[in-house]
Each structure stands twice: as structure tokens, then as C-alpha cells.
Amino acid sequence: MLMRTASMIAALFVVTACEPSGQNAGANDADSAGVAPAGAPTMGSASDSLPGARLRTELERLVGGLSTRADPDTIHSWFSAETAGVLSSSAVDSVGHATVDFHDLRSVIPNASSSAGSALLLQELNSAVFRVAGIRSVEYRMNGSCDVFWEWLQYSCHTVTR
């Protein structure tokens, strides 16, 4: 009886925690848009279904080297435990445009600026970003600048579309 009561209380807590409260629902634009800073805890909540939360999870796995270790077909990746902290922020707006900002990657991944290196880096990033349903386009930045990111890879600033 005690075990059943504890299970019912736990289930009630989960349901209550996932329901928006009447006057605060949608009050936090960052939460309702799926915008979250990098490194924010991922706790298996209803917000994990938002594109912004899923994007952050995918990118953290990628830059930490986790997604490449899970894929036996990956021959080489720029990402490993050494790059785990390079994601500064990620966000997805209401029309499916993602913005991904990195800390300065140039010293951590210096050879990614070669033609083959940049192609591999972009393939990995685009694969992670577009794995998230609902994302239609992405703008990559470094230290808040689209120009800095793309100049590092010998391109001009632009948006990548699905």
C-alpha cells in the first residue's frame, strides 16, 4: 500500500510539474521559444520536446565528442572532450531559424580552416543541427559574430538552409 501511494504521489508530481501554471504560462519568452544557454541542465522535462532544447542537446553531444563515438562510420571528427566547452549558446525562433554561437574555435580547432577541414566541420555541424525536427535554417557565429565564424572557414557570413 505504501509503495502504491508513493508511486501515485510521484506520478502526480510529474504531471503537475509539466503543466503550465495559469498566469505564468508563456511568461518567459526564452522558455516558450526553446531558447536556452549552453550548459543548462537537461532534465527530461516537457521542455525537452522544444526544438531549442533538442538543438542544445545535439550540439553538446557533438562538441563533446559523444555523437562521433556513437557512430562507427565516423572516420574523423573535429570534436572531442577537448572541445566540450566551445558551445556558447543556441536558440531556435518561432519560424525554425537556429542561431548557434561558439566561443573562439580557432585555437582549439586550428586546421578546420583548410578547405577539406571546413567541409568536414560544416558537415558535422549541419548534420547535428538539421537532425532536430522543425529547424529550417541556421546561422553560425563565433564570439557573437557571423562574420568571424565564416571568415575563419574562408567564406562570407551566410545562413545555411535545410
In a domain, 11, yes or no: no
Q: What is the pLDDT of residues 106-120, one digit of tens each?
A: 988 887 878 788 888
How many domains in the chain? Answer: 1
In a domain, 145, yes or no: yes
In a domain, 62, yes or no: yes
What is the tally of helices (H) and strands (E) in the chain? 6, 5
**For position 80, what pLDDT does the model report?**
84
In a domain, 131, yes or no: yes
In a domain, 3, yes or no: no
Q: What is the pLDDT of residues 121-150, one digit of tens each?
A: 999 999 999 999 999 999 999 999 999 999
In a domain, 63, yes or no: yes
**For position 98, what pLDDT does the model report?**
97
113-137 burial, b for 16+ CB within 10 Å, e for fewer?
eeeebbebbeebbeebbbebeebeb
In a domain, 101, yes or no: yes
CB 128 within 8 A of CB 96: no
In a domain, 133, yes or no: yes
Q: What is the pLDDT of residues 29-46, one digit of tens each?
A: 333 343 344 444 333 444
Which structural domain, as residue segments, surrounds residue 135?
A: 34-161
